[in-house]
Structure 1
């Protein structure tokens, strides 16, 4: 079995192009060469397509240069508009795509005919290019992890808890992204990426704060992780009323504290803010808001994925009240700017930061840099960095021993869970999991580790799985109650599979899948939401119970024991 790629690829139809005249439809000669049309198409491409594609090399999706010379323009338009419909009609190319990538791409039915023509005219303006390759890496590994995962004897019994209010008229109804305990208060909160923070009280979500109302430059479109990304309540929230949020804004809204070189475009800014409710026990927010830091990103994806406090630290420990901030690489490597994530200078992209929100010794004077940070005396790395070498560290958690773990969403090779230790390098973009990555060439291939691998100083995942078993890892948590007894429960975002692993053991076969049982009937989340793409997220309440969130329908489920 060959490794499956991260997401279904919009224009990889070149691999399955049908040559019959009846299916070719409109050809590239039909497309506009007008400069204004092409410029308009560029804007659409950057908003809708750049998450997966570019014209320099294979990224999440393939290099699109020359695609309109090889594939029917009419077929591409129909597929962009409604890929699920094309698939349901048993179209040969669509079926091949689904077999290869195991997941549907979203459709864009709202594009007008003019916009379709402009978009494809822009794509048509690029001639075919070949990505550079590194011949010193040896032969690629055909199948990074040979065996597929099996099911555990343990089931994940769940019950329906709540329906989050819809923030859109059609799926995704509520972009619910995180459920977490609010510090020492015992209260549970959940966010919608479109800018809403709810408190879950007696299984009823009630609006606590509207992030968008306090941030006029807030953006949550075109999706793909943008919006109200994460939140974290101070461990002493019940007394000080402090909590923190991360959200996205338009590029150049304000001067960033961490900015890209002038030669690299900025498509998004991410902002961390502190909120202080004047009455911590209030069921809605009324208080003050201040900005802590602002960061530029190359693309709209892989921004600030997570902010969190260590829930196992006590007031007399140095980690108490220190805020961890997980930053993706901003899509820089896939878009042809690997230097942003190579950490040869003072970059912060692809790192986990650790700051003291109550301090002021940072460059902007709005937060503190803890004196026990690993690079506090470094002249090469930012003093805020706790660990580095991540592609997209989307969630962090701690076990009962106080050890920190982070999931990192892979590119095309593996999904991984890492034990996070201060100052360690976790490999990206020269490694993906325990495999060598061709950073400057075809990034879809895995290569074996070199004999001198120790010289690179890479810390490898405690567990990893390849794309035979999923395509994008979700965050996970430790379940303490029987029958799980401290095992790590996590999932795969698009596929919706739930996994169990013992992180005290680091062998790959330690990972198993969990059967989902609802009302004593075995099911899975794709069946429950009646969609192929699940968009599964996991959360944990103040009692340690684990929740499962499905974005497509805005529903919350709770694991029962």
Structure 2
């Protein structure tokens, strides 16, 4: 059954607002927001709802994001416009109360404004209209407390962080958005034996971090843009939060073969070679390096390719030192429609051993490059089996592995297992393992000590309209996007509960379908409200006794706000029941990440009144947090804005 999360319960107790939009308990409809008393002032009702659902974008006076001083980065990057001032003399263009209520309920499908029909009661929608009218009239009482959010009535468990290392500053403190982030560290990968971490910075460096000395060494530099000394002259990393040196993962046999893989992004419009620059790395032998063809054609040939995501295989002949001596081989080159949601993740089954069917088989998390929110034929890319966007792929990077049980890819650089779920469907991409996911930028395995040969794969997926989600990845599963998000259906009229006949077409191509399928729903979800956040940072299952309160829980966080939550693993697994209305409850931690990052950002030379960037819920200033964990179970909190890696040392209940 649905178990209300602690943040939901706190919101309900403190402000009569439930976390989420249209959550349903089995057998009965749970109203998304408690209905106000009949005698309650409609303006007060609307003010309360506005503060939770609207103020983060439109400011305390309904000014529109631009005039409220909140830069919605994704809109700016696309050249879009924010809403105008909603309280000036012409803000409503003569619209009736009913017309405004319709916009609030249904959203504006061609913009970034979602519909709130599943989040607000009818009384609250009318209240928001009344509150906007009061603002327009300049009534002084209408502004009181407009930016307040729900008060937490429960004392949160206290999480303590300790500084682990300050990474080299690669940003430009005088810049803006991503350029002003001091160090854009995106991952930490532990080397076998635990001696070092591989640490990629989106701005270009791939570091080796010595665990004993905390010494940071630049192992490879990918940034060869505009005459920089790095490897790739078309390297792109500025402005967009997901661009640059995105990821690194070590081959399961790395200790013996020295093989590892990276993902980086390139700008195909740059007038420079796409091949690595000779001499950028002294020990790199480029004699056999060759570019691959794009792994698939652009979905719309009339729209220029904006970015390219590239997977490269590296082989270091000596893994004992801190320099690279070896070769590189391009595996995959994928076109991206926009500079968001590229290839983001690579992982290998941690329990597979030599001779197993899973040995050295790679899972790749591929974002949808923003196609799922387009209003043209690209919208269904995450659903289409003839494309790779919005999917999790399963491939064999080494052409010498699994020869008898796989086929060679079209670009001749990797193999595709024959038992992939769509390998026999005409017109489908055989690489696809799961689909209908907006941005599965973190894939994390959990090995249950009671069942050590059957690990679970979790995907941490960034949402669009209302929800950030955690998925349990299953072979052939369809997670619904852009027809579903979180526990709800995405419709032209806004978010709504799933229909009684909860099926969607199996979309092979833009025009060809093959029956229907029931969507697979998340096990954890939190909303785009002041009680939730903007974008899921990732997470993992906490095992062991190092932090007893978190044992056997899924720990996760939010990128922009720096919030941390946990959910009990028993509840997470119980939520994997095929129902949209079953979600594991979340308990927020009091970690104080944002003030800690703000202080360190300024201490290290960061400029401005706030942290760099902005988002709808965080407002001005993004913490830009990521999470990592080593083999011993130590939890690391990585924050790009101040360029610091910290460890989570303890979590304890407060009295």
- State TM-score, norm by structure 2: 0.63
Q: Tell me how far apart the structure 2 counterparts of residues 234 and 430 of structure 1 sit (CA, whole Å).
A: 36
Q: Is the 8 A contact 2:522 2:583 kept in 1?
A: no
What is the DSSP-based 3-state SS (H/G/I as helix, E as strand, rest coil) of the residue aligned with 1:476?
Answer: strand
Larger radius of gyration: 2
Shift of 1:281: 1.9
Change (3 A) 1:148 1:354: farther
Distance 1:362 1:152, change over 3 A: farther
Q: Paired residue for 2:562, among 482, 485, 496?
A: 496
CA contact (8 A) 1:152 1:512 kept: no
Within the alignment, does 1:289 sit opposite 2:299 as a pair?
no
Cα distance in structure 2, aligned partners of 1:449 and 1:283: 53
What is the aligned partner in structure 2 of residue 87 from structure 1? Answer: none
- 1:54 CA drift (Å): 4.5
Pairing 1:147-226 to 2, within 5 Å after superposition: 154-170=157-173, 171-183=180-192, 187-201=196-210, 202=212, 203-212=214-223, 213-226=230-243
Residue 274 in structure 1 maps to residue 283 in structure 2:
no
CA gap of 1:17–1:197, structure 2 versus 1, over 3 A, is: closer
2:521 to 448, 460, 464: 460
Asked if 2 retains the 8 angstrom alpha-carbon contact of 1:496 and 1:525, the reply is no
Assess if the C-alpha contact under 8 Å between 1:182 and 1:234 holds in 2. no
CA RMSD for the aligned pairs?
Answer: 3.6
1:155-199 Cα deviation digits (max 9, x unpaired): 332211101101123131111111122356653221100111112
Deviations 1:11-42 (A, max 9, x none): 99995269xxxx9xxxxxxxxxxxxxxxxxxx
Partner of 2:484: 431
Match of 2:457 in 1: 404
Deviation at 1:398, TM superposition (A): 0.7
Which residue is equivalent to 1:262? Answer: 301
Aligned residue for 1:446?
495
Offset at 1:6? 11
- Work out whether 1:228 is the aligned partner of 2:245: yes
Determine the structure 2 residue equivalent to 1:549. Answer: 638
Tell me, in whole angstroms, the C-alpha distance in 2 between the residues paired with 1:385 and 1:148. 44
Mapped to 2, the partners of 1:392 and 1:7 lie a distance apart of 26
State whether structure 2 residue 260 is matched by structure 1 residue 239: no
* Alignment size in residue pairs: 458
- Structure 1, unmatched stretches of 5+, are 24-46, 56-61, 73-99, 101-128
Q: How far off is 1:131 after superposition? A: 4.5
Contact 1:200 1:206 survives alignment (8 Å): yes
Distance in 2 (CA, whole Å) between partners of 1:7 and 1:269 is 36
Structure 2 alignment gaps of length 5 or more: 1-16, 18-48, 68-72, 90-103, 122-149, 174-179, 224-229, 275-290, 400-406, 449-454, 504-515, 576-581, 603-610, 612-620, 651-655
Q: Does the residue aligned with 2:422 lie in a helix, a strand or coil?
A: coil
1:515 aligns with 2:590: yes
Sort the Cα spacing of 1:336 and 1:523 in 2 relative to 1 into closer, same or farther, 3 A: same
Aligned pair in 2 of structure 1 residues 152, 386: CA closer, same or farther (>3 Å)? farther
Deviation of 1:526 (Å): 5.1
Distance change >3 Å, CA 428–CA 205, structure 1 → 2: same
**Which deviates more, 365-374 or 408-417?**
365-374
1:388 aligns with 2:397: no
Does the aligned pair in 2 maintain the 1:233–1:242 contact within 8 Å?
A: yes
- Cα shift at 1:474: 0.7
* Residue 223 (structure 1) shift: 2.6
Would you say the 8 A contact 2:396–2:414 is kept in 1? yes
Matched-pair contact (CA < 8 Å) for 2:157–2:588: no
- How far residue 49 of structure 1 moved from its aligned partner, in angstroms, is 4.7
Q: 1:219 to 1:139 in 2, by over 3 A?
A: closer
Instruction: Tell me what 1:350 maps to.
Output: 390
Deviation at 1:310, TM superposition (A): 2.3
For 2:340, which of 301, 309, 316 is the aligned residue?
301
Contact 1:161/1:557 (<8 A) preserved: yes
1:493 Cα offset (Å):
0.2
SS in 2 for 1:394: strand
Shift of 1:227: 0.5
